[in-house]
Amino acid sequence: MKKTIMNGTSLFAVAMSLLLTACGNNTATNSAKMDSATTIIAQDSTVSYDISLVNNKKDPTCGMPVTAGISDTAHYDNKVLGFCSAGCKEEFLKNPKANIAAAEIK
């Protein structure tokens, strides 16, 4: 049985070709949705938000304080709102005018 051993140059070429083809298959994990009143800025659970970046003290849907953690945000009426979950944000977007009072804007 014959054994073939790659030299350093061949190994480097194979590694680079794999790296370049893998980079071409990268897909975005964030999604965006736009309508006349609202723009969603992120839906990626790996993103963390600083409470100083949002204009609300409480999640407008469930009332949870934003100091407990923000997993998603949305723009509404020239303000950045923080939400405890994507589900709360989705619920808020169904009827933002009815829910905005509960946000306790800073």
pLDDT (tens digit per residue) in 16-64: 554 444 444 444 433 334 333 434 444 455 567 888 999 999 999 999 9
Q: Which helix (H) or strand (E) holds 38?
A: strand 38-42
| pTM score of the predicted model | 0.56
What range defines the domain where residue 83 resides? 38-103
Residue 48, in any domain of the structure: yes
Residue 49: its pLDDT value, please?
81
Counting the structural domains of the chain, the total is 1
Residue 46 lies in a domain: yes
Quickly list H helices, 4-61: 8-23
**Any domain includes 92:** yes
The token duo for 97 is: 């005018």
Cα separation, 69 vs 66, in Å, equals 5
Residue 28 maps to a domain:
no
Q: Which of 84, 104, 83, 102 is nearest to 38 (CA)?
A: 83
